[in-house]
Amino acid sequence: MVRVLVVEDEFIVAEDVRLTLVQAGHDVVDVVASGEEAVERAFALRPELLLMDVRLAGKIPGPEAARRITARLDVPVVYVTAFSDVATLDQAKISVPYGYLLKPYEGRELLVAVEMALHKHAVDLRVRSSERFLATTLRSIGDAVVATDNDGLVTLMNPMAERLTGWVEAEALGRPLTEVVRILDERSRDPLPISLRDVFAVRGVVSLPRGLLAQRGGGEVPVDDSLAPILDGNNLMGAILIFRDITERRRLEARIAVSERLVALGTMVAGIAHEMNNPLAYVIANVEVAIAGLAKAIEQIGDADLIAHLRDLRAALGDSLDGAQRVKRIVADLKTFSAPHERPRAAVDLVEVIGAAVRMAEHEIRARARLEVDLGPAPTVWGNDAQLAQVVLNLVVNAAHSIPEGAAASNHVRVSLGLDPLGNAQIEVSDTGCGIPPEVMVRMFDPFFTTKPVGSGTGLGLAICHRIVADHGGEIDASSPPQGQLQGTRFRVRLPASIQPPAQPLAVAAPPPVALRRGRILVVDDDPGVRKAIHRALHAAQDVVEAASSRAALELIAAGPPFDLILCDLMMPDLTGMDLYEALSASHPEEAARIVFMSGGTFTPRAAAFVARASDRILAKPFSIGILEDLVARWLR
């Protein structure tokens, strides 16, 4: 039994950790939520293990609190956190943690992390109680170690050094260090010096330049190395070279760099999608107005040649409208995938999720396989539609990549939706590709594990899928036939049904049975193209007033008379539509109640939260003239 102090500011997570530890026989001496409490209680209770989150409530972050505690108490620290970015890892290193466990995790994983931390701490205690030479050697476990005498001749090699250098210890003993361990410059391939004289002079550790270890068999391995003297009191006994293979570290660094570029790309795409929606809004609206105007002109003109010409123009505009609608769908898909974690959760229709993912993946599938989609009845699920679409997209793209190009007619990627035996929603993605061997199957959900060449994949796709599905209370698994049989892989995603109905978009109402009164409508948008398009579409039946900013709108509303409907852009410079709503709620609440917000996309937390609260009064850009007219009709009725 070990006395554990738990530091976690999320009550549910903290309680889960406490119960897991208690059930395993450990003594949880206290559970606190802030770094300040952690320092105070650790000094008072003197726990044998510190289990804490990196980001905590209060002024003292987790790593700083751990540093203060470990400066006075010899207690191991294990971090349990949802963050694995470079900045967070660098902060965590301050306290030299004995474990780093990523949320979400299973109880067994937590217990293994605890046991491993306790075991490593115990080993460290034994190491520190030994003499300097033995301590230095033991600290090298997992790294390659080569020791020399004062003349620079090899006196010891551990198994890792044998494996990396290609030398057997019995053959290396008595040879010069520079013959056994040859470090090359990565660019020039010139030998890098290993100077024992410098180490003996400073009697301290000397970091050597990173380079490539030239192996005896002809290979090269990137290594990080250091040289230290072996001292017995004041007596110099030789030197010890410690080096490690950093191949995996470099791959990890490259994958993190790719991940950061993807995040930056997602942010850029979100902005581009938002900017495209404004011109799309007035392109679609103006084309629809032009088509309607041509239709009326054709009815009123008697000249056959002119009618034929106008019909050609109307057909051309119709093709343009189809193209604009296609761009609209593409932009909508880009918005879905650009910033999924900022979107609020709601009831999700999986048919729409699969449709968006499949459209995004079509270009990947076309040259490799036939796409088959079977969408049966399935319940809605409660969650984040963008995250779930990301899961489907990753699975579909992986399925396509498992099939070589050039044989599309004889291969397929199949996506199906239905129910599992328990009534949960079930998504299946199957393919006729190369399959997954058993040794890969057991690791495929591990972060950064990939079988693709370096630079071709980050190893994050399936790990992210697993995390997202688990966050939604679901399960994901895969199966693949044994080697030699019919190949292919099938992934199954099961998600619990939601009791909430899916959010409905603004409905397209039927034309009113009687003529509507002429209303007074204010259009607030900083884009003149959007204002003109709405004015052009509505002015024949309504009195339309334009405002280029929220401040101009406030002046118009203050001057009166009141408006029947205010169509207001959500995101504008200076004062946003949200700011306008708050100002009117205080000064003209009856006008605030008549605002419908036009939005081309939200990419700030405030805007996303506002849209979630006002979802029944959001008109998504770009919109058709029919939807706009129906919206006006409903408000005027």
Residues 159, 214 within the same domain:
yes
CA distance 157 to 144: 8
- 218 assigned to some structural domain: yes
| CA 115/CA 300 separation, integer angstroms | 86
In the prediction, which pLDDT does 506 show?
33
Q: Is residue 270 part of a domain?
A: no
- How many domains does the chain divide into? 4
- What was the pLDDT predicted at 343? 54
- What are the CA-CA distances from residue 158 to residues 22, 140, 230, 326, 470 (Å)? 40, 9, 16, 64, 43
Q: What are phi and psi of 176, to 5 degrees?
A: -65, 145
CA-to-CA separations, 92 to 69, 253, 313, 434, in angstroms, rounded: 14, 17, 66, 41
Which amino acid is residue 339, in one-letter code? A
- Indicate the residue among 245, 263, 289 that finishes a domain: 245
Burial of 472 per CB tally in 10 Å (0-12, 13-18, 19+)? buried
Residue 343 lies in a domain: no
**Average pLDDT of the residues in 190-215:** 83
**Residues 512 and 625: beta-carbon distance below 8 Å:** no
Angle at alpha carbon of residue 103, lines to 102 and 104, rounded to 5°: 130
Higher per-residue pLDDT: 319 or 471: 471
Give the pLDDT mean for 496-503. 64
pLDDT at 365: 87
pLDDT at 167: 94
Nearest to 98 by CA among 131, 64, 52: 52
Beta partners for residue 431, in sequence order: 413
Domain that holds residue 391: 350-501
Residue 503, pLDDT above cutoff 50: no
Tell me the pairing of strands 235-245 and 220-232.
antiparallel
pLDDT at 429: 94
Question: Alpha-carbon distance 459 to 465, whole Å?
Answer: 11
**Which range among 217-231, 360-374, 509-523, 537-551 shows the weakest confidence by mean pLDDT?**
509-523
Based on the domain organization, do 124 and 138 belong to the same domain? no
Query: With 60 as the cut, is the pLDDT of residue 540 above it?
Result: yes
Q: Look at 70-79, 130-139, 190-199, 215-224 and tell me which has the smallest mean pLDDT.
A: 130-139
pLDDT of 424 > 80? The answer is: yes
Same domain, 78 and 52: yes
Which range in 288-292, 315-319, 490-494 is most confidently predicted, on average pLDDT? 490-494
- Confirm if 79 and 62 have CB atoms less than 8 A apart: yes
Per-residue pLDDT at 217 exceeds 90: no
pLDDT at 41: 94
Between CA 218 and CA 230, with CA 224 as vertex, the angle to 5 degrees is: 105
CB of 394 within 8 A of CB of 464? yes
For residue 288, the one-letter residue type is E
Mean pLDDT along residues 171-191: 90
Specify if 293 maps to a domain.
no
Can you give the pLDDT at residue 522? Answer: 94
**Does any domain span residue 470?**
yes
Amino acid at 242: I
Structure token pair of residue 367: 């040259």
Residue 357 and residue 462 in one domain? yes
The arithmetic mean of pLDDT across residues 606-619, rounded, is 78
The answer to whether residue 251 is domain-embedded is no
